[in-house]
Structure 1
Amino acid sequence: MTTGLARGSSGIKFVRIVPASQKAMERRKLWVFAVTFISYGLYHASRKTLAGVKSSVKKDWLENTTGRPLFDTDGEAKAFLGTLDAIFMGAYAAALFFWGWLGDRLNPKKVVAAGMISSSIMLFLFGYVPKMLDFYSVPWYVVTYIGFGLLQACGWPSEIAIMASWWGGANRGLVMGIWAACQPLGNIVGSIFTAFILPFGYEYTFFFNAAVTFLFAFVVLWGIDSKPPHCLENDVEGRATVSRASSISEEGEPIGILQALFLPGVLAYCLCNACLKLVNYAFFFWLPLYLTENYHWKETEADQLSIWYDVGGIVGSVLGGYISDRMGCRAPTISTMLIMSLGALWIYAQIGPHLFWNGLVMTIVGITISGPYNLIVGSISIDLGSQPALAGNSQAMSTVSGLLDGTGSAGSAIGQVIIPVVQDTIGWHAVFYLFISLNAISVLCIAKRTVLDVKRMFRDRRPEGAPLLLDQDSHED
């Protein structure tokens, strides 16, 4: 900042504090982008841990030589793994509604940091303690993983609220498309961590991911502000007045969950995300085990190959955000990608144990599934949380984001119970046909929104670079 002296007509001197330069503010924005990107990537990396070591954990449960095996059959162990995924997603879904609601009432960065610290402790208790103490207990696994799910939900709604405060405005789709890639990139990092540490013992993968997440929470807590800083300006009498740096909207009263649900467009995207997140998280939870069991590849090889699904998610997220910005609407982009996913899923189910082709088609599947999912929980969350129906109320962002992601997580929780049953009774091909059906339903959920957006594209071209907000009149659904 710079200061200067000036003299009013009365001859009284006063000091004017000039706001920091635009360049300094841009650097702070980029720093906030980087810290929130890494922090939520670590959220995802930590929850990727169990998915990457399921085969080792299952073997340990069945072949425990120092005591009675936790399960008698492979099917029982696999079913319990599916149950753990389901209770994680169930707890995560239920908590998202609460943390989304609370995130509009508390300091978002403190909520994010608290979630990182507490969920990392739960991950340590879940995966490291039983192995090191030779203490295998179904209730212990259930209780600690429920706690892990409840506390992991602190992250997303509050991270979205922070990003919306710092990065509202034009090119939101591209910015949030790049930022939402923290999820698949976090999965990749988690898979790499797991593949590298797994030879030393699967329990150390839980310890390492928990430790990194725990430590980075303090970077979030002390390194960023939840909103752009206030600029102080002294008046002629020396009294400080506060003017807020530019943000997406003015303050307002926080809204309730039911009020958020019936905002224009929210219900349609909630239903769409309930189906889509089930499919996306099925790949998240089950892809390494599928590759290990179906093709008899080593667990470390399966973890490394599964990275290509997340690579596709990064490409799809960035590309989808850019295209939707240029089009001036998002639903047609999301619908097109989901329609493409139907063919990609069918091809992947037939691809066979060919590493190159498996990785290539897996990448396409990631582009067309993880990409639109990232758009919905990222760009669409901000669009819905800052639409004209809110009349400039910025105190709805976290609530709307939590509602959208929480509904998706509820659908995913149901899916994690269904998937092992379908696989065990019918086979993996039936699982992929289930995915195809669910993605088709996702398209139908936003079909009206897509048609309205296409009509508006031809009726009213948005000036390039203008912020994309939801059209109140066109969101009668």
Structure 2
Amino acid sequence: MKPIPHLHARIWTFTITYLAIASRHTAIQSWSMVKPEVGADLSMNSTWLGVMDFTFLLCYATGNFISGNLGDHTSLSAITSIGIGLGGCAYFINALLGKLNFSNPWIFAILFGLQGAFQSSAWPASVAIMGNWFPRDKTGRIVGFWSSNTSVGHLLGAQMAGFLLVYGVSWEIIISISATFMICVGLMFWFYGKDRPPEHEAEEALLSKSMTENKIIFKNGINFWKAWRLPGVLYYSLCYACVKMLNYAILMWLPYFLDDEYNIDKRYIGFMANIYDIASIVGAFGFGWLTDKLKARGPTLCLIMLFSIPTIWCFHIVPHDLWYLIFGVCILLGALAGTAGHLISAAVPIDIGKHEHLEGNEEALATVAGIVDGTGGLGAAFGQILIGYLASFDWMYAFVFMLIAAFISLLLLIPISIREYKEAKLIKTNNKIV
């Protein structure tokens, strides 16, 4: 069997980028778990806690557009390292202020905004690094599975925080642990992260020298506005705004909905949130493999979102005496909408960023990933406000809004699917002629 080039380096790259994203999602989930304690200790009501979440999401979304394009003009590993490290520091300051009984909500909101801005560099740069190290024909299965880092981070954060809270550990300590995790990963990335595999010894020596002597190197990155004109960027970005809003709605509002409507035991509610994430991990690898075989993402994603629509409505129609059926709904929707989120945010930007439309040696991976994730973040941020408002009247309105979002994402995927199907058919015809 032919040996895989740079196998050990690829494994390390997969691991360190995986940890970078998992660490920030561990912090996000641990914060969600300790919010009741924070509100009680610092006398902050739910409105201020919501403002902090919104500030984080908004700064994260807008930061993606900037940091993504910056990553294509300078060192990807440096951008990731600085963002994760400073994000961890801002998170640590939150814990320190809590320990000092400082409770000015405006300062906490500003710190959460800084966290979002710093952490926004991690995703587009990490996706670009993965795209540089792994072949495009295996992007679906490899990067699809790699993108499970978000779900694993949620699981780690929830389990760690839940376990420590049971034993009476303060929320400041829990936040400090998550912040330390992020800072350590940031330092690892600074010293051991590499943007791409060297193709020969001379390039490797040059890369090592540039990384050692000057971590911030400059490249021929694509213009931000030109990146929007690459095939599929606009449609996929708008689609991801709907899909990410949907996924965040499930992750952030499902526990509240189940407690409010079904009065389910907290242990079962936590387990339902976990199996949603686990189902999305399995689905990302399975559907990622399928899209690699088909050499097109759009048609598969189209079917996924089509089946997501009736699944979403199942949350609203499950009878109260059959509440345990929601376990199955969580598994199914996680494997559908959760998977769509993984593939659009990770595999799709790599496909577009390596497209033949790029001129010369233009770098576009991080910019495209930033555009897609940034647009998705805006959808998630404003979507949560609308869902909270609609749910205050009736949960049915909130689920109708989610259905509309899923339907819009389906409509946006149709022209992409048609174009990708035609391209795949043309490639197949050309291969037969050759």
TM-score (norm: length of structure 2)? 0.88
Are positions 1:192 and 2:163 aligned together?
no
CA distance in 2, matches of 1:403, 1:28: 28
Aligned to 2:198: 229
Aligned to 1:471: none
CA deviations on 1:173-228 (whole Å, 9 max, x unpaired) are 11111111111122111211121122223333312211222222222222332211
8 A Cα contact 1:100 1:401, kept in partner: yes
Aligned to 1:274: 241
CA deviations on 1:229-254 (whole Å, 9 max, x unpaired) are 363369xxxxx99799xxxxxx9721
8 A Cα contact 1:316 1:368, kept in partner: yes
Alignment match of 2:172 (pick from 175, 200, 203):
203
Alignment match of 1:317 (pick from 246, 266, 284):
284
8 A Cα contact 2:245 2:379, kept in partner: yes
Counterpart of 1:334, as a letter, is L
Alignment match of 1:216 (pick from 185, 196, 203):
185
CA deviations on 1:431-466 (whole Å, 9 max, x unpaired) are 1221111010011112111123334555553899xx
Aligned to 1:40: 21
SS at match of 2:32: helix
Are positions 1:26 and 2:7 aligned together?
yes
Aligned to 2:120: 153
Counterpart of 2:236, as a letter, is Y
SS at match of 1:306: helix
Aligned to 1:383: 351
CA distance in 1, matches of 2:267, 2:89: 25
Shift in alpha-carbon separation, 1:179–1:129, aligned structure 2, 3 A? same
8 A Cα contact 2:92 2:175, kept in partner: yes
CA distance in 2, matches of 1:190, 1:394: 38
8 A Cα contact 1:104 1:396, kept in partner: yes
Alignment of 1:102-113 (within 5 A): 102-113=70-81
Alignment of 1:448-463 (within 5 A): 448-457=415-424, 460-461=427-428
Shift in alpha-carbon separation, 1:198–1:279, aligned structure 2, 3 A? same
Are positions 1:331 and 2:311 aligned together?
no
Aligned to 2:211: none
Give the drift of 1:103: 0.7
Give the drift of 1:335: 1.0
Counterpart of 2:200, as a letter, is C
| Aligned sequence identity (%) | 25
Aligned to 2:213: none
CA deviations on 1:352-379 (whole Å, 9 max, x unpaired) are 4767432221121111111111101111
Structure 2 unaligned segments of length 5 or more: list them.
209-217
Aligned to 1:371: 339
Structure 1 unaligned segments of length 5 or more: list them.
1-20, 72-76, 235-239, 245-250, 465-477
- Runs ≥4 in structure 1, deviation > 6 angstroms? 240-244
Aligned to 1:257: 224
Shift in alpha-carbon separation, 1:372–1:300, aligned structure 2, 3 A? same
Alignment of 1:387-406 (within 5 A): 387-391=355-359, 393-406=361-374
Are positions 1:288 and 2:255 aligned together?
yes
Shift in alpha-carbon separation, 1:148–1:294, aligned structure 2, 3 A? farther
CA distance in 2, matches of 1:190, 1:108: 26
Aligned to 1:358: 326
Give the drift of 1:139: 0.5
SS at match of 1:389: coil
8 A Cα contact 1:195 1:303, kept in partner: no
Aligned to 1:346: 313
Shift in alpha-carbon separation, 1:243–1:32, aligned structure 2, 3 A? closer
Aligned to 2:55: 87
SS at match of 2:200: strand
Aligned to 1:443: 410
TM-score (norm: length of structure 1)? 0.81
- Bigger share in helix: 2
- Bigger share in strand: 1
Root mean square deviation of aligned Cα: 2.7
CA distance in 1, matches of 2:294, 2:254: 33
SS at match of 2:428: coil
Name the larger-Rg structure. 1
